[in-house]
Amino acid sequence: MIERYSLPGMSKIWTDENRFQKMLDVEIAACEALNKLGEVPTLALKKIKEKAGFNAKRIKEIESTVKHDVIAFLTSVAENVGKESTYIHKGLTSSDVLDTALALQLRQASDILIDDLERFSKIIRKQAKKYEDTIMIGRTHGIHAEPITFGFKLAGWYTEVLRDIERMKSAKENISYGKISGAVGTYAHLSPEVEKYVMGKVELKPEPVSTQIVPRDRHAQFLSTLAIIAATLERFATEIRSLQRTEVSELEEPFTKGQKGSSAMPHKRNPVTCEQMCGLARIIRGNAMVSIENVALWNERDISHSSAERIILPDSTILLNYMLNKMCYVIENFNVNAENMKRNLSITNNAIFSQRLLLAIVKKGYLREEAYPAVQEVTHNNFKDISPLKKYLKESEIKDCLDIKYYVRRVKGILKRAGI
Name the average pLDDT for the chain.
96
User: Helix (H, G, I), strand (E, B), or coil: what is residue 145?
Assistant: strand
> How many Å apart are CA 171 and CA 106, to the nearest integer?
10
Confidence (pLDDT) at 48: 97
- Tell which residue, 43, 29, 98, 120, has the closest CA to residue 303: 98
> How many Å apart are CA 238 and CA 255, to the nearest integer?
17
The H or E element containing residue 205 is strand 205-206
User: 249: alpha, beta or left, given left = phi > 0 and alpha = psi -120 to 50?
Assistant: left
Buried b (16+ CB within 10 A) or exposed e, 44-74: bbebbeeebebeeeebeebbeeeeebbbbbb
CB–CB of 210/204 below 8 Å?
no
Q: Report H helices in 83-144.
A: 94-130
Confidence class of residue 119 from pLDDT cuts 50, 70 and 90?
A: very high
CB–CB of 310/220 below 8 Å?
no
pLDDT in tens, 190-214: 999 999 999 999 999 999 999 999 9
Confidence class of residue 1 from pLDDT cuts 50, 70 and 90?
A: confident
pLDDT in tens, 9-19: 999 999 999 99
Q: Please compute the mean of the pLDDT values over residues 96-104 and round it to a whole number.
A: 98
Q: Please compute the mean of the pLDDT values over residues 129-144 and round it to a whole number.
A: 96
- Tell which residue, 179, 214, 172, has the closest CA to residue 196: 179
Confidence class of residue 261 from pLDDT cuts 50, 70 and 90?
A: confident
**DSSP classification of residue 149:** E
- Reply yes or no on whether the pLDDT at 256 is more than 90: no
- Reply yes or no on whether the pLDDT at 332 is more than 90: yes
The residues near 32 (Cβ < 8 Å, ≥ 6 apart) are 45, 197, 201
Supply the pTM of this predicted model. 0.94
Give the active site residues: 141, 262
Q: Please compute the mean of the pLDDT values over residues 39-46 and round it to a whole number.
A: 97
Cα 388-391-396 angle, rounded to 5 deg:
95
Residue 135: beta bridge partners?
149
> How many Å apart are CA 161 and CA 356, to the nearest integer?
32
Q: Please compute the mean of the pLDDT values over residues 225-240 and round it to a whole number.
A: 98
> How many Å apart are CA 40 and CA 68, to the nearest integer?
26
Counting residues of the chain whose pLDDT is more than 90, the rounded percentage is: 95
The residues near 216 (Cβ < 8 Å, ≥ 6 apart) are 291, 294, 295, 297, 305
Confidence class of residue 262 from pLDDT cuts 50, 70 and 90?
A: confident
